[in-house]
Amino acid sequence: MRLFTPRPMALCGAALLLALTAAGCTSGCRKIDPQGPEPIPPPLRERPALLSTLSVPVAIPVDEVSALVNRVVKQDLYSVRDRRVKKGILSARIDLDIRRNGPIYTRTRGGKIINHLPLLAEGRVRAAGISRPFATTFTIHATTDISLNEDWATVARTQGDFTWEETPYITVLGLKFGLKGAAENALTKQLAQLAPRIDSLIADRINLRRRVERIWESLREPLAIRDEPPAWLTIRPVETYFSPGVSQNDTFVVGLQIHAYVETTVGAMPPLPALGVLPPLRLLSDSLAADSLHGFQVNLPVSITYDDARILLAGSIAGKDYAMQEQVAFTVNAIDLYGHGPSLVARVDFSANVTGTSLGTNGRVFLTGTPIYDNATQSVRVDSFDYDVNSSNALAEAANLWFRDDLLEQTRARLVFSLAENIAAAKERLEAALRNRVLGKHIILDGTIDELVPDALYLVHDGINVDIFARGRLTARLHALDQIRRRPRIDTTATHP
């Protein structure tokens, strides 16, 4: 392995001897020891606060709503006896009973909950001494809109319409007596009393505030994403939004969003913040819904310490002998790295000797440059790398210009540090921390990372940091408590309309 490439026009031994003699090295070697740039702490840098979104889907199985409605709607809905009706000059009397014709079934469509109440209307018409029985079936479609107001109260509004299998009528003495109007008038009044009860029952049982308060409290818990050095993910929720419910198969889903600041910290576990009050709920506007806040983004700092960099360099450069210009043996004894404000400084300790003689040079030079991140290779390299002024002057005074370009070129080529493994490990740790993570007793946090976007590279006191934004989706949901059937049973002894 050759660290330095021979120049096309290698200096002969006499020329090297002349150069070294001019430098005062007639025996032994000249020590090159310029004063290097002093370590200067990097400027303080505040990471930007990034607003993220936690999706909080609240699923309401329609069969649970159906169970509620079946409990509240009694079997016999309407009954009347000996009601007088007229058809022209003919007067008749009607007995009418309306009752459920089977269980109520529920489905969701277009973001609404629709309860289908199959009914049977039957009775008897009496006119002019003639009595005729009748029976017909029809269905009430009770459509419930569910929304939320600012104080998290569930607002349900139920309205109904009717579907008849066929328009009911009965013929007496050649006259048709229609039954549709009488039945609908009777049930419209019943529905006016029934709908508020259904609404109240749904609003009481679908209490989203209780659910989100559990999530809000559990999100305070810092999530460990690395053991050594310790790293934590903290979620600081600030706002809550909801979008109108949507229909998904046999489930009505209320879309809630918690906007929060998701941040990473390194060191001791952050203190548990005080529990904040659940903020007012706001309607998610179309513009906000279309925004990038559909997902979460968190700063995922990836770094290489100066200590790790020294180890990498020691393995590939330091302590090895390299032939240079055929007659010169060159050795890099040590390389040290440190920060000088925003610049990276490499201190190179070296020795160079002419083969077969006692002539040579040893010493130290300093090179400075700007570290940059190459996303294509996921590595850090140094740009604009050159000798600092003192080192350049010292080399010139010692007449050691014969190797300075080689030293600069080869050192620059080898000051490249791959972060690919660090980035892959950081991504894997974060995904593991967010995958079905149980918070508290009943909250599950589930996240996926869709992309990694590099941001800024900067020096810290002990190394080089690259901020990587991990972007993806984050969902918080209740576990085992989000089904209505697990709540206290409804009091079925209450008086029904």
- Render pLDDT for 287-315 as a digit per residue (tens, 0 to 9): 555 444 457 888 888 888 999 888 888 77
Kindly tell me if the per-residue pLDDT of 372 is higher than 90: yes
Four-point Cα dihedral 397, 401, 406, 411, nearest 10: 10
Kindly tell me if the per-residue pLDDT of 366 is higher than 90: yes
Q: Give the integer Cα–Cα distance in Å for 482 and 480.
A: 6
User: Of the segments 184-198, 215-229, 336-350, which one has the largest average pLDDT value?
Assistant: 336-350
CATH fold for the domain made of 13-36+305-420: Bactericidal permeability-increasing protein; domain 1 (3.15.10)
Q: Give the integer Cα–Cα distance in Å for 451 and 300.
A: 12
Give the rounded percent of residues in the chain with a pLDDT score beyond 70. Answer: 82
**Structure confidence at residue 7 as a pLDDT band (50, 70, 90):** very low
Kindly tell me if the per-residue pLDDT of 484 is higher than 70: no
pLDDT at 371: 92
pLDDT at 6: 41
Q: Give the integer Cα–Cα distance in Å for 311 and 307.
A: 6
* 228: Cα separation from own chain's centroid: 24
Q: Give the integer Cα–Cα distance in Å for 207 and 484.
A: 10
Q: Give the integer Cα–Cα distance in Å for 42 and 338.
A: 10
Tell me which of 199-213, 374-388, 457-471 is least confident.
Answer: 199-213
Kindly tell me if the per-residue pLDDT of 15 is higher than 50: no
The Cα diameter of the chain in Å comes to 145
User: Of the segments 43-52, 124-133, 186-195, 447-456, which one has the largest average pLDDT value?
Assistant: 447-456
**Structure confidence at residue 170 as a pLDDT band (50, 70, 90):** confident
Mean pLDDT score across all residues of the chain: 78
Kindly tell me if the per-residue pLDDT of 48 is higher than 80: no
User: Beta 175-178 vs 169-172: how paired, if at all?
Assistant: antiparallel
